[in-house]
Amino acid sequence: MTSSYVDISGTPYSYDSRQENTLQEIASRVEQMRAGGRLNDASLELIRKYFKIKNIYHSNAIEGNILNIGETRQVVEMGLTITGKPLKDQAEAKNLSEALDFLENLASDATLPITERDIRQIHYLVLKGISEVDAGRYRTTKVEISGSAYIPPLPESVPPEMERFGKWLSKVSIPEKSFASKEGLMFAVVTHTWFVTIHPFNDGNGRTARLLMNLLLMRYGYPIAIISKEDRLRYYDALETSQSSDLSGMIGLVAECVHESLEEYERAIVQRATDSEWVRSIAARMTDRERIRKNNEYEVWRSAMDLMKSYFRQTTELLDESMPDGRVFFKDFGQLEFEKYYSLTQGSSVKQTWFFRVDFLLGKQTIRYLFFFGIASYTIKGLCDVSVYVAREERPYWYEKLEILHNSSVSVPSLFELGYSLRDESFIARYSNNVIERQTTEQICRRFIEEVVQKHFEP
């Protein structure tokens, strides 16, 4: 398909026409869920609560806040003060929680336009008690964006620029017949990008922009998009490109975040009842002694998995810093819960087991490799019960195991599966042709990355 650009009416932006299918696929999925009663208002309320702490943590972390997700939860949900952590960081978490509550109110009535006054109020909530002189007030000085070549408008241009932006926002923030449409996702991205391009406040522009983006998504029936701290560099790159009016990078990133939220929705909503029943059945089958033994085993296994993930993350970050013409991104999906680990050790399959992903970007070529948990294959079953498999994205949001691709004569890295032997306290890697090797995390990671570069990026 030949690349061309689609202008977004009423805005200074355009995007790559090849993204049309992705936008429509996500919109269709949201529409189908609503039509089936699976994405009704009550369900959306539940998922928003589920995502709240995660959203606060990542949005603040992008701006340099050092609270971890557990500390964020303690500050927001329990009202605790964390000893040894900056009071400013704790105030930022509380403020963003209050701003999200305000956002819920704005999202609840989609017949009322979002106005400049609402934007100022959102910003006030983000900065109140931290920078009272700036909270809710447009800047009166010239500013620069750290690490960016882009220079925002002069202070005297901010009010007219915000008036223009505000008029557009007030129109598109009322979905009417465009509810659950691809336009809703597109308008959300425009809202974020246009706002940060104006950069109307001295501080808090990023957090306010992400809040406004999610407000538009909520108005159009979408789950929120959480741009994680792991995606920070990719996020900054996309914003830099958007200064030339090309919104393709931001649309791609936000579309991916929305897709991940939909996946989280499936896990949190569709499986909520069955998960509860499943956990109860597991607990009933386990004696106290068995539970203690399995928990101890799980903690050792989990520490090994954390070590492996940490090495992949560090190697990815070092490689990204050293690549002159490309980028490498690491995406963390968390750990496998004890109940799912136990179920896999018993030979039962479970859903939602993504571990982490490594994205390689060079020019317009992006290659994504996903690492996810599953039942150990027959080949290494005697060495471990739970494995990490490797898959590659073959089309948007569709991943195929490397072993299957290899059997179809597709050129892929040779790493198919890896695990950890609790008995030998060693990592096990299964390569093509069922070659089994005991290796360190360093050996596994370096071999994998070298093969990716060799197969996709070397001339």
Same domain, 310 and 164: no
What does DSSP assign to residue 390?
Answer: E
**Residue 229, in any domain of the structure:** yes
Q: Which residue reads 């950890």 in tokens?
A: 420
Threshold 0.85, pTM exceeds: no
Say yes or no to pLDDT of 390 above 70.
yes
Residue numbers annotated as active site: 199
Residue 268 tokens read as 């949190």
Domain identity same for 104 and 14: yes
Specify whether 72 is located in the same domain as 203: yes
Encode pLDDT of 102-149 as tens digits: 998 898 888 999 999 999 999 999 999 999 999 999 999 999 888 888
What pLDDT shows up at residue 1?
47
Q: What is the mean pLDDT of the chain?
A: 88
* 276 found inside a domain: no
Measured between alpha carbons, how far is 293 from 252 in angstroms, rounded to an integer? 45
Comparing CA positions, the residue from 197, 196, 198, 228 lying closest to residue 212 is 196
> pLDDT band for position 181 (50/70/90)?
confident
Q: Which range of residues forms the domain containing residue 255?
A: 5-266
Q: Sign (positive/negative) of CA torsion 42, 62, 242, 263?
A: negative
CA angle 116–218–366, rounded 5-degree value: 105
Same domain, 294 and 258: no
Q: Which two tokens stand for residue 395?
A: 């089309």
Domain shared by 231 and 352, yes or no: no
Task: Look at residue 280 and tell me if it is in a domain.
Answer: no
Total domain count for the chain?
Answer: 2
Beta bridge partners of 387: 374, 419
Instruction: State yes or no: pLDDT of 302 exceeds 90.
Output: yes
Instruction: Please check whether residues 216 and 327 belong to one and the same domain.
Output: no
| Residue 120 Cα distances to 5, 96, 135, 384, angstroms | 33, 14, 8, 56
Q: Are residues 252 and 302 in the same domain?
A: no
To the nearest 10°, the Cα dihedral for 265, 255, 216, 237?
A: 130
